[in-house]
Amino acid sequence: MTESVSRRRGVLVGVDGSPDANRALSYARGAAELRGDDLVIAHVVDDAILAGAWGVVYDPSVLHEAGMQVVTEASEAVQAEGFPADRIHTEVIMGNAAAALTRLSRDADLLVVGRRSLSGLERIFVGSTSVGVAATAHCPVVMISAASSPTATGRLHRIGVGVDATANGAAALAAAFAEADRRKVDLEVIHVWDVPGAVRRTGDKAVDVAGAAAEGGVQALLAPLQKRYPGVKVTAHVVQGHPVKEMVARSKELDLLWLGVHTTAGFGVGGVVRGVMAHAECPLALIRDRAEDTGPLDEEEIRGGQPS
């Protein structure tokens, strides 16, 4: 039976019957189990398909019925894996997928969506739903691909977080520390820096100074959180290069990579995040700056991305 998500908080997952959505469902089920949360399974029927090609008009009731079949099958799948039926809630909504999941995310602790991870040029075209919710969701978003993460995650016992040289991304860093502490795993903090070509031409000394400044800046960011989470073993990976290339390379050694999503009015996800989304070889956990929201994240809001 479809119930309103607004009456409860839990792990929200978007499904459509595809392999990536099924992988997201499995991850969400594991996250809900470990958090003791309810699981909310949502399918969004894109109302743009009501008017099909060649003048064909689809009956909304037929599309809704098909959506109900999708969420019913998803519910049965997680019940077969041992998840309690009374903690499963379903939603079938007509509308734009990214907009609908964003609205539902207001009342969720975590949103999990599938992310295509294919080969060649196809990797450039990250799904519009993934990009949309990354820029607008009101809770942390985990994106997982059936191609890059076909089996259960967590075997590496290490998660990562990308940081920059500013206060941006503070929510991602705090979330990553909290999760590493909760999972009892190591945390790798990744910062990629570079200097303009004109500065590089002045000699190695200028590059060395920039590198030392980057190292010191990262340590300053980490100090208060290391004090707060003394049990978390932290490794700082500070390297000169391109952030997308370096973070994608490190993703092979991680169970999960946290990234902060910086958005401003009228703009979506930036190029670095989109690049990592297209090529990462582990699940991604994305969290917004919250600059457009009414208040900062609280302790519960930064808890996301459980292994599964």
For the entire predicted model, the pTM comes to: 0.84
CATH assignment of the domain containing 265? 3.40.50.12370
pLDDT tens, position by position, 123-146: 444 457 877 888 889 999 999 988
155 and 109 in a single domain? The answer is no
Residue 136 lies in a domain: no
33 and 157 in a single domain? The answer is no
125 class by beta-carbon count within 10 Å (0-12 exposed, 13-18 middle, 19+ buried): exposed
168 and 306 in a single domain? The answer is yes
Residue 138 lies in a domain: no
Residue 197 lies in a domain: yes
Range of the domain at 25: 1-52+60-114
Residue 259 lies in a domain: yes
Confidence of residue 103 (pLDDT cuts 50, 70, 90): very high
| Angle ∠(121,124,125) on CA atoms, nearest 5 | 110
One-letter-per-residue 3-state SS of 214-234: HHHHHHHHHHHHHHHCCCCCE
Residue 47 lies in a domain: yes
> Total structural domains in the chain?
2
78 and 182 in a single domain? The answer is no
Residue 38 lies in a domain: yes
pLDDT tens, position by position, 255-288: 999 999 876 544 456 778 888 988 899 999 999 8
Residue 30 lies in a domain: yes
Average per-residue pLDDT in the chain?
82
CATH assignment of the domain containing 85? 3.40.50.620
107 and 221 in a single domain? The answer is no
Tokens of 270: 């930036």
Confidence of residue 189 (pLDDT cuts 50, 70, 90): very high
With beta carbons less than 8 A apart as the criterion, state whether 105 and 133 touch.
yes
